[in-house]
Amino acid sequence: MFVRHLDEITQSEATVDTGDWASRRLVLARDGRDYSLHDTLMRAGSHTLIDYPNHLESAYCIEGEGELEDLVQGRRHPITPGTVYGLEALDRIRLHAHTDLRLICTVTPPLIGGERLDDQGGFPVAADARPALRKKNVFVVNLNDFNLGRLRSIRNAENYNFLKLLDASDVLEQDHYDIDAILTKARAELERYPGRVDGLIHYIDFPVSTTVPILCSEYGLPSASLEAVLKCEHKYWSRIEQQQCIAEHIPQFAAFDPFDNDALSTLGLEFPFWVKPIKSFSSYLGFMIRNERDWSEAIAEIRAHIGRFEAPFDRLLSRVQMPPEVAGIGGGSCIAESIIGGRMCTQEGYVHKGKLRVYGTVDSLREPNGSSFASYQYPSRLPAAVRKRMTRIIETFMAHIGYDNAPFNVEFFWDANTDRIWLLEVNPRISESHAELFRKVDGASHHEIATDLSLGARPRLPHRDGEYSCAGKFFIRAYQDAVVTGVPGAEQLAEIERLMPDTVVRIMAEPGQRLSAMMDQDSYSYTLALLWIGASSPRQLQRRYEQAVEILDFELAPLAE
pLDDT of residue 521: 81
3-class state of residue 85 by DSSP: strand
Does the structural domain 6-132 have CATH classification 2.60.40.10?
A: no
Strand segments (E) across 109-183: 136-141, 160-165
Q: Ranked by mean pLDDT, which of 49-58, 85-94, 377-386 comes out on top? A: 377-386
**Residues making up the chain, counted from first to last:** 561
pLDDT score of 27 more than 70? yes
Amino acid at 259: F
pLDDT score of 561 more than 80? no
Average pLDDT over residues 410-439: 97
Distant-in-sequence, close-in-space partners of 117: CB < 8 Å, separation ≥ 6: 18, 48, 49, 50, 123
The CA–CA distances, whole Å, from 296 to 220, 257, 259, 300 equal 48, 14, 11, 6
pLDDT of residue 131: 41
> Which helix H or strand E contains 151, and what residues bound it?
helix 145-151
- How many other CB atoms are found less than 10 A from the CB of residue 130? 14
Among 164-173, 230-239, 421-430, 531-540, whose mean pLDDT is lowest? 164-173
The architecture (CATH level 2) of 136-228 comes to: 3-Layer(aba) Sandwich (3.40)
Amino acid at 490: A
Share of the chain above pLDDT 90, in %: 80
Average pLDDT over residues 241-270: 96
Average pLDDT over residues 390-399: 98
CB–CB of 199/88 below 8 Å?
A: no
pLDDT score of 194 more than 80? yes
Q: Is the pTM of this model over 0.85?
A: no
pLDDT score of 128 more than 60? no
pLDDT score of 134 more than 80? no
pLDDT of residue 126: 65
pLDDT of residue 127: 57
Phi, psi of 556 (to 5 degrees): -125, 130
Amino acid at 63: E
Listed residue (375, 285, 377) closest to 336, CA to CA:
285
Domain borders along the chain are: 6-132, 136-228, 252-333, 467-561
Largest CA distance in the chain: 93
User: What's the CATH number for 467-561?
Assistant: 3.90.1170.30
Q: What is the pLDDT of residues 346-376, one digit of tens each?
A: 999 999 999 999 999 999 998 887 678 899 9
The 3-class secondary structure across 92-114, one letter per residue, is: CEEEEECCCEEEEEEEECCCCCC
R_g over Cα of the chain: 26
Average pLDDT over residues 301-319: 93
> Whole-angstrom Cα distance, residue 217 to residue 186?
13
Average pLDDT over residues 463-478: 96
pLDDT score of 307 more than 60? yes
